Amino acid sequence: MTNLWMDIKHADVITVMGGNAAEAHPCGFKWVVEAKAHNNAKLIVVDPRFTRTASVADLYCPIRQGTDIAFLSGVAKYLIDNDKLQHRYVAAYSNAGFVVKEGFDFNEGLFTGYSEEKRDYDKSTWDYELGPDGFAVVDETMQHPRCVMQLLKKHIAVYTPEMVERICGSPKETFLKVCQMIATTSSPDRTMASLYALGWTQHSKGSQNIRAMCIVQTLLGNIGQLGGGMQALRGHSNIQGLTDLGLMSNLIPGYLNIPIEKDANYADYISKRQFKPLRPGQMSYWQNYNKFFVSFQKMMWGEHATKENDWAFDYLPKLDVPTYDVLRGFELAKQGKMTGYVIQGFNPLMTFPNRAKMTEAFSKMKFIVVMDPLQTETARFWENHGEYNDVDSSQIQTEVFELPTTLFAEEEGSLSNSSRWLQWHWQAQEAPGECKPDIEIMSELHLRIKALYKRDGGAFADPILNLSWNYATEDSPTPVELARELNGYTVAPITDASGATTPAGKQLDGFAQLKDDGSTACGCWIYSGCYTEKGNTMARRDNTDPGNKGIAPNWAFAWPANRRVLYNRASCDPEGKPWSERKKLIEWNGKQWVGFDVPDYGVTVAPDKNMGPFILNQEGVARLWTRGLMRDGPFPTHYEPFESPMANIPFPKMKGNPVSRIFKGDLADLGTSAEFPYAATSYRLTEHFHQWTKHSRINAILQPEMFVEISEQLAKEKGIVKGDWVRVWSKRGSLKAKAVVTKRIKPLNCDGKIVHVVGLPQHWGFIGKTRNGWHPNTLTPVVGDANTETPEYKAWLVNIEATTPPNDRVA
Amino acid sequence: MADYSSLDIRQRSASTGTPPDIRRQQEVAKLIDVSKCIGCKACQSACEEWNDLRDDVGINVGVYDNPHDLTAKSWTLMRFTEYENAETNNLEWLIRKDGCMHCTDPGCLKACPSPGAIVQYSNGIVDFVEDHCIGCGYCVKGCPFNIPRISKTDNKAYKCTLCSDRVAVGQAPACAKACPTGSIMFGTKEAMIEQANDRVVDLKSRGFDKAGLYDPAGVGGTHVMYVLHHADKPQLYAGLPNDPKISPLVAFWKGGAKVMGLATMGFAALAGFFHYVTAGPNEVEAEEEEEAIDMKARGARRSADEIRPS
């Protein structure tokens, strides 16, 4: 989230699209209810299904899954055509006036530089025109034919309300009502909060779905404002922590990159990441990348990371491919190239796309290790459970190790939530049986591997042998010890700008103190401040909220620097006055920035210095056009899902995202709409949390059995009766479920074609207290977002028919 | 929070006279704002947790309602209704938390023949005292909202207690505590009515002209109230009675029938005495007596069915 949960109460309009907050985030949703009750907010829901969120919305608009970019580009077009922009904001705080290099273009669904063979772009023209001073050329009038505003107008011209209706199946009148409601927030004192989740990310163009709303929000001046922002609602209590701490194959903590093979050495690596300002007077905070990186290396390898050895740069792995994401991982396993897998706290057999492929991949592995507090289907992938898991155990040689772990209530530590808060929690009870904390298991593993290397030697053992390991109990580091490392500490005395000195061995106050000379160590620069000399700021529980802003600065710790609303400098006009007194967050008092939140800006940088409010960006402003930062283009473009009932109307030559990676076998496993005519989507229900709560009796009572949701019209067409068994199948598999026949799913009219939506919730399996069932991953295709490789769980094709019960349910 | 603690009894089933020395306590109420409810079932979960109930794991029958009905082990339940509003052309998903309404004039208590099996506390809560319950099922028939359920295990009647045990120590009911959106509120009846009026103003501003409070006069008002978008059509919300009233049969049983019954019993006793004196002892089989009670119950059920809302 750019803002925080409590801040939603300030919104004047709330748009839930690409998510179902009432369903998946019922506790946070209270702030939407609060905004409606006490801020007279209007709630808009755009979704293929009339959801639980829609049940309390002021305006619901249906949409065909996988067409969000067309819809949102249509909204952006409406705002520009009807002059509903926050003009000063757009002029001063966005790159609307930046002039783009000659040569950049967009034709028939493709940007300049496409190679069909590589399924990738040469992005050399995707950049600004630079002036003789080395800075980007800006036309403040926004009239230059190659300036971003003009390119944007041209790019979205195709998304007229009529075109939106044809592509999305959203009735034109309802779409226009949505536009009108959203447009009311273009005035400086009104804001819209955009709430989204996996309904946007789980697409082959998921990142661009989000980009499309970023464009809308920037045009409206809603970023950095109270009640505005892009609110990414995270799906687990600590999934924010997962990405913050770099648990991705291409990241290290704090959103720094794992080097790639082309990064020959440290100097090379750092030069590509220490972004220089593209406009005069800009901060371009990533210029400090080297400080974050060196401090990370010092935390990892201590005295073994020296200036002489490039801060142990070569200890890090170098990626030969962009990512080793799960889709690639299981493709490799299927090919017999990935032979072991350590699974910590998740259930891939019932999660990752194409269950049959998952079973095949697991069956080819030598071993898997499952660390989980609960029984998972993954650990039982080899066991025959009738038609729910119809495998021949005698043919599977994979060895499975199950290591029971503690649950969150059985250990202390911190959880990072959607608001970017790190909240400490305390142990409530002892773990049962032989359960151990994950930290202890991983530590023992590390120590044993280290001992083996010590005894037997091996190729390049240095990164393992030299890893810093200074914990009171060697095989069981405490969460406090780890938190102190993440916060960072002085390795040698440091002196700050004012001349004050901090001796060695002290906890840092924040990342501003980090050095690139090896005198500081810090595990995750954005977490710096979470455990200072004053103590554990994550454990703070003071809910005092000056000004009733929903900020509560002394509750837990928010990264970065305890800042609650990102880009909050943009809540003021260029002169430093709040756009609206009602929504005041910070202001310039003549000497410095003061207010309710930690300023996201140089505290003493005066407004007349013309430093932009988006200090992390080289431009200092928000990007309507993203240069070469996205693999699939600087503007979002409508492409169909890889399995779709429709052709790509505006760009018939380009059906799916042209740069999404898809493996050969998976390409062959894609179905056509002739065979599989219905548009399927998958989602969660409030009654369950993923596949955890099927182990809990009460949750099992509340939602006992897998079902499929279809419209009354489709049910009639297929002779399906409410509550009866249906079979749903795709090119990749088949499952059975009960039919929920509902008015809440309506057939969509897309360009004259009737598109039926089939909805599949995702909480059942063959272990637990619920009835046996399947997960939609039996059916889903193996293709991911072009930028993140998040699988396309939200849009694919199926067929459906009435059927007989599974064998164990025959009366 | 105000001190709602009172287990002082105002009314008691099958008992005459007012309990002595009753202190008039502030009346409490639970307000369920249907327009804020997202149907998450946290209330159902909290109810099972707090009251230590564990219903059976059922099946899906093609709807979101699970369990499908109130049971002796499920005292509250979300009921989902898909309503196509012909006036606005909008689809509405009306989600109502069903459970005991805690009537000021409780039909269950009126109908109950077992002394002290149903009580009404001075704060308005209507509670079942299972120790005194004889499992006759009259409360089921007496309830205009179709709430009480007889357990197949112990043959006693169960329903929502409005967490009388929590309220007695100044806590809100478990469902209200768990509700994430603040759709379930709890306080004095007065405060809840005030709160409801605020909500009605908001709903009217959003185009729900007929929004209002459901606090039906036919049962003397209730201690569980709803804010409805369509207060003119409560029936839309999974059959919430438009104008609930205690079955005339219960009134009959409590009024004339009971007097006549007692008179008849007195006459019978007198006649019996003379019969005994004149003709000697007569044996009545226990079985016959049970059968007689059963027939009476069945008769009551039939009559009640005819006037009950579907």
**Average pLDDT of the segment spanning A494-506:** 93
Distance between CA atoms of residues A657 and A119, nearest Å: 10
Nearest chain B residue (CA) to A62: B91
Distance between CA atoms of residues A367 and A523, nearest Å: 31
Residue type, A438: D
| pLDDT tier, A759 (very low <50, low <70, confident <90, very high otherwise) | very high
The DSSP bridge partners found for residue B78 are B97
Distance between CA atoms of residues A720 and B18, nearest Å: 58
Helices (H), A82-125: 87-93
Are A771 and B59 in contact (CB < 8 Å)? yes
Closest approach of B38 to chain A, Cα-based (Å): 6
Per CATH, the number for A664-809 is: 2.40.40.20
Q: Where are the domains of chain A?
A: 5-233, 664-809
Q: CATH top-level class for B9-245?
A: alpha beta
The string of DSSP letters for A460-488 reads: T-HHHHT-----SSTT---HHHHHHHHH-
Residues of B in contact with A27 (CB under 8 A): 180
Chain B residues near any Cβ of chain A (below 8 Å): 35-42, 44-45, 48-49, 54-64, 66-67, 74, 82, 84, 90-95, 180-183, 199, 202, 205-206
Nearest chain A residue (CA) to B92: A55
Instruction: Please measure the distance between the N-terminal and C-terminal CA atoms of chain A and give it in whole angstroms.
Output: 50
Nearest chain B residue (CA) to A684: B40
What is the per-residue pLDDT across A41-88, written as a single tens digit (0 to 9) for each? 999 999 999 999 999 999 999 999 999 999 999 999 999 999 999 999
| pLDDT tier, A497 (very low <50, low <70, confident <90, very high otherwise) | confident
Distance between CA atoms of residues B245 and B308, nearest Å: 9
Closest approach of A25 to chain B, Cα-based (Å): 10
| pLDDT tier, B9 (very low <50, low <70, confident <90, very high otherwise) | confident
| pLDDT tier, A519 (very low <50, low <70, confident <90, very high otherwise) | very high
Chain B CB within 8 Å of residue A623 CB: no
Residues of A in contact with B35 (CB under 8 A): 56
Residues whose CB falls within 8 Å of the CB of residue B306, separated by 6 or more in sequence, listed in order:
none
**Average pLDDT of the segment spanning A16-26:** 97
| pLDDT tier, A89 (very low <50, low <70, confident <90, very high otherwise) | very high
> Which residues of B sit in the known binding site for [4Fe-4S] cluster?
37, 40, 43, 47, 100, 103, 108, 112, 133, 136, 139, 143, 160, 163, 175, 179
Q: Is the pLDDT of residue A693 over 80?
A: yes
Nearest chain B residue (CA) to A30: B181
Are A744 and B93 in contact (CB < 8 Å)? yes
At residue A677, φ and ψ (nearest 5 deg) are -80, -10
What is the per-residue pLDDT across A610-648, written as a single tens digit (0 to 9) for each? 999 999 999 999 999 999 999 999 999 999 999 999 999
Are B40 and A26 in contact (CB < 8 Å)? yes
Supply the DSSP symbol for A130.
B
The string of DSSP letters for A624-687 reads: SS-TTSSTT-SS------SS-SS--SS-TT--S-TT----HHHHHT---TTT--EEEEEE--TT
pLDDT value of residue B19? 65
Contact A773, A764 (CB under 8 A): yes
CA atoms within 13 A on the CB side of A637: 28
Long-range contacts of A239-245 (CB under 8 A, 24+ apart): A240/A416, A240/A417, A240/A418, A240/A420, A241/A414, A241/A415, A241/A416, A241/A422, A244/A416, A244/A420, A244/A524, A244/A526, A244/A527, A244/A559, A245/A486, A245/A524
Are A740 and B64 in contact (CB < 8 Å)? yes
| In chain B, ranges of CATH 3.30.70.20 domains | 9-245
Residue pointed to by tokens 């998921």: A206
pLDDT value of residue B267? 65
Q: Is the pLDDT of residue B273 over 80?
A: no
Contact B47, B53 (CB under 8 A): yes
* Largest Cα span, chain A: 81
Mutant choice from A686, A689, A698 vs B, greatest count of B C-beta within 10 A:
A698
pLDDT value of residue B271? 64
pLDDT value of residue B261? 61
What is the per-residue pLDDT across B170-210, written as a single tens digit (0 to 9) for each? 999 999 999 999 999 999 999 999 999 999 999 999 999 99
Q: Is the pLDDT of residue A192 over 80?
A: yes
pLDDT value of residue B247? 83
Q: Where are the beta strands (DSSP E) in A326-366?
A: 340-344
Residues whose CB falls within 8 Å of the CB of residue B201, separated by 6 or more in sequence, listed in order:
none
Mean per-residue pLDDT of chain A: 97
Residues whose CB falls within 8 Å of the CB of residue A635, separated by 6 or more in sequence, listed in order:
A106, A151, A152, A155, A156, A211, A215, A625, A626
SS3 state of residue A45: strand
pLDDT value of residue B309? 37
Distance between CA atoms of residues B262 and B282, nearest Å: 21
Contact A212, A76 (CB under 8 A): yes
Sheet bearing A42-46, strands edge to edge: A59-61, A42-46, A13-17, A192-196, A230-232
What is the per-residue pLDDT across B208-241, written as a single tens digit (0 to 9) for each? 999 999 999 999 999 999 999 999 999 999 999 9
Closest approach of A602 to chain B, Cα-based (Å): 38
Closest approach of A605 to chain B, Cα-based (Å): 42
Selecting from A37, A699, A769 the residue whose C-beta is nearest the C-beta of B202 gives: A37
The string of DSSP letters for B83-104 reads: EEETTTTEEEEEEEEES---BS
Distance between CA atoms of residues A85 and B104, nearest Å: 56
Residues whose CB falls within 8 Å of the CB of residue B198, separated by 6 or more in sequence, listed in order:
none
pLDDT value of residue A178? 98
| pLDDT tier, B11 (very low <50, low <70, confident <90, very high otherwise) | confident
**Average pLDDT of the segment spanning A287-299:** 97
Helices (H), A170-255: 172-183, 198-201, 206-219, 239-244
Q: Beta B77-85 vs B90-98: how paired, if at all?
A: antiparallel
Q: Is the pLDDT of residue B2 over 50?
A: no
The DSSP bridge partners found for residue A423 are A415
Distance between CA atoms of residues A345 and A362, nearest Å: 17
The string of DSSP letters for B35-53 reads: GG-----HHHHHHHHHTT-
C-alpha distance from residue A690 to each of A217, A417, A693 (Å): 31, 17, 7
Residues of A in contact with B86 (CB under 8 A): none
Chain B CB within 8 Å of residue A26 CB: yes
pLDDT value of residue A398? 98
Supply the DSSP symbol for B64.
S
Q: Is the pLDDT of residue A718 over 80?
A: yes
Q: Is the pLDDT of residue B298 over 80?
A: no
Chain B CB within 8 Å of residue A65 CB: no
pLDDT value of residue A384? 98
**Please, what's the b/e burial string for A304-330 (b: 16 or more CB within 10 A of its CB; e: otherwise)?**
bbeeeebbbbebbeebeeebbbbbbbb
Contact B230, B214 (CB under 8 A): no
SS3 state of residue B296: helix
Are A740 and B56 in contact (CB < 8 Å)? no
Nearest of A11, A57, A54, A52 to residue A34 by alpha carbon: A11
Q: Beta A753-755 vs B28-33: how paired, if at all?
A: unpaired
What is the per-residue pLDDT across A522-540, written as a single tens digit (0 to 9) for each? 999 999 999 999 999 999 9
Are B56 and A744 in contact (CB < 8 Å)? no
C-alpha distance from residue B26 to each of A83, A357, A445 (Å): 57, 64, 63
**Looking at chain A from residue 643 to 702, which residues have their Cβ under 8 Å from any Cβ of chain B?**
686-687, 697-702
**Average pLDDT of the segment spanning A312-318:** 97
The DSSP bridge partners found for residue B150 are B157
Distance between CA atoms of residues B72 and B130, nearest Å: 12
Q: Is the pLDDT of residue B308 over 60?
A: no
The string of DSSP letters for B200-251 reads: HHHHHHTT-TT-EEE--GGGT-BSEEEEETTTT-GGGTTT--SS----HHHH
Contact A369, A403 (CB under 8 A): yes
pLDDT value of residue B295? 47
Per CATH, the number for A5-233 is: 3.40.228.10
pLDDT value of residue A345? 87
Closest approach of A209 to chain B, Cα-based (Å): 26
**Looking at chain A from residue 722 to 751, which residues have their Cβ under 8 Å from any Cβ of chain B?**
722-724, 738-744
Q: In three state form, how does the secondary structure of A251-313 look?
A: EECCCEECCECCCCCHHHHHHCCCCCCCCCCCCCHHHHHHHHHHHHHHHHHHHHCCCCCHHHH
Nearest of A775, A696, A683 to residue A201 by alpha carbon: A683
Nearest of A353, A288, A712 to residue A515 by alpha carbon: A288
Distance between CA atoms of residues A417 and A307, nearest Å: 36
Distance between CA atoms of residues A519 and A523, nearest Å: 14
The pair of three-digit structure tokens given for residue A592, joined into one six-digit string: 């410095």
Residues whose CB falls within 8 Å of the CB of residue A374, separated by 6 or more in sequence, listed in order:
A692, A695
Are A686 and B41 in contact (CB < 8 Å)? yes
Residues of B in contact with A34 (CB under 8 A): 182
- Return left, alpha or beta for A595; rule: phi > 0 is left, psi -120 to 50 is alpha, else beta: left
Mutant choice from A702, A722, A726, A743 vs B, greatest count of B C-beta within 10 A:
A702
Distance between CA atoms of residues A420 and A561, nearest Å: 11
CA atoms within 13 A on the CB side of B91: 19
Closest approach of B199 to chain A, Cα-based (Å): 8
The reply to whether the predicted model has a pTM over 0.90 is yes
Are A60 and B84 in contact (CB < 8 Å)? no
Contact A757, A748 (CB under 8 A): yes
Give me the percent of chain A exceeding a pLDDT of 70: 100
Residue pointed to by tokens 């002489």: A308
What is the per-residue pLDDT across A454-470, written as a single tens digit (0 to 9) for each? 999 999 999 999 999 99
Angle at Cα A200 formed by Cα A196 and Cα A201, nearest 5°?
110
